[in-house]
Amino acid sequence: MKIELGKFVAVSYDLYSAETEENGEQELLEQAPEDKPFSFIFGTQQVLDTFESELIGKKTGDTFDFELTPDMAYGDYEDARVVDVPKGAFMIDGEFDESSVYPNAVLPMMDSEGNHMYGSVVDITADTVKMDFNHPFAGETLHFCGKVLEVRDATLEELNPSGCGGGCSCGCDDDAEGGCSGGCSSCH
């Protein structure tokens, strides 16, 4: 069975930054090992369109190795997406929520128009929390190497999930501590 619209797909992969480090190797950014594969329903906007376009037509056992430039993935890193948020936005019962708000924490947020997003805490000062709303892989050329583990017809439950429904475009799972670090659209 080939990967096409509406099929359940499970893949394992290693995701590297395409930039070569001083030692000549690429930095490993993320993994979806065979025992914890990344799964999704093809064509339902759970993952990047460009990721899917590289997989279309492949079948169980096929391997893949491709790169996605920033314009094909999460865009360029934008300094304007790093903002100071008043510390008062993080108060619970009049107290600053230091158990949830700390450097490198990824927090669910909402902008003034009601759009949901995730931001990473960069710094905390006396009055503000500096938040980075860029996707963690913004500005990166992404190098995916992997294998198709399963392709099958999706079940009705998989096609109509009540929750997030099977993974995020960044490869995390719903049970990841702190939620999805990638701020991906399929879950949020």
In tens, the pLDDT along 31-46 reads 999 999 999 999 999 8
Distance of alpha carbon 79 from alpha carbon 70, whole angstroms: 15
Distance of alpha carbon 41 from alpha carbon 184, whole angstroms: 15
DSSP 62: -
Please indicate, yes or no, if residue 145 is contained in any of the structural domains: yes
Same domain? 28 vs 48: yes
Distance of alpha carbon 185 from alpha carbon 115, whole angstroms: 11
Question: Residue with structure tokens 């990638």?
Answer: 182
Last residue of a domain, one of 90, 117, 132: 132
Please indicate, yes or no, if residue 100 is contained in any of the structural domains: yes
- CATH number of the structural domain spanning residue 57: 3.10.50.40
Same domain? 16 vs 61: yes
CB 29 within 8 A of CB 14: no
Same domain? 20 vs 70: yes
Same domain? 104 vs 146: no
End-to-end CA separation in angstroms for the chain: 31
Among residues 46, 69, 79, 59, the alpha carbon closest in space to that of 171 is found at 46
Give ∠ CA 57-18-46 in degrees, rounded to 5.
Answer: 45
**Domain span at 155:** 7-75+137-159
Same domain? 12 vs 65: yes
pTM: 0.74
Please indicate, yes or no, if residue 1 is contained in any of the structural domains: no
DSSP 59: B
pLDDT tens for each residue of 120-162 = 999 999 999 999 999 999 999 999 999 999 999 999 988 887 6
Same domain? 50 vs 109: no
Please indicate, yes or no, if residue 173 is contained in any of the structural domains: no
Last residue of a domain, one of 93, 113, 132: 132
H helix or E strand, kind and range, residue 11: strand 7-20
Distance of alpha carbon 24 from alpha carbon 17, whole angstroms: 12
- CATH number of the structural domain spanning residue 96: 2.40.10.330
Number of domains in the chain: 2
Same domain? 64 vs 121: no
Is the confidence at residue 76, as pLDDT, over 90? yes
Structure tokens belonging to residue 55: 């997989």
Distance of alpha carbon 129 from alpha carbon 135, whole angstroms: 18
Among residues 182, 177, 167, the alpha carbon closest in space to that of 118 is found at 182
pLDDT at 91: 93
Average pLDDT over residues 98-116: 92
Structure tokens belonging to residue 27: 């930095």
Same domain? 62 vs 155: yes
Please indicate, yes or no, if residue 114 is contained in any of the structural domains: yes
Same domain? 143 vs 64: yes
Question: Residue with structure tokens 């930095």?
Answer: 27
Same domain? 11 vs 66: yes
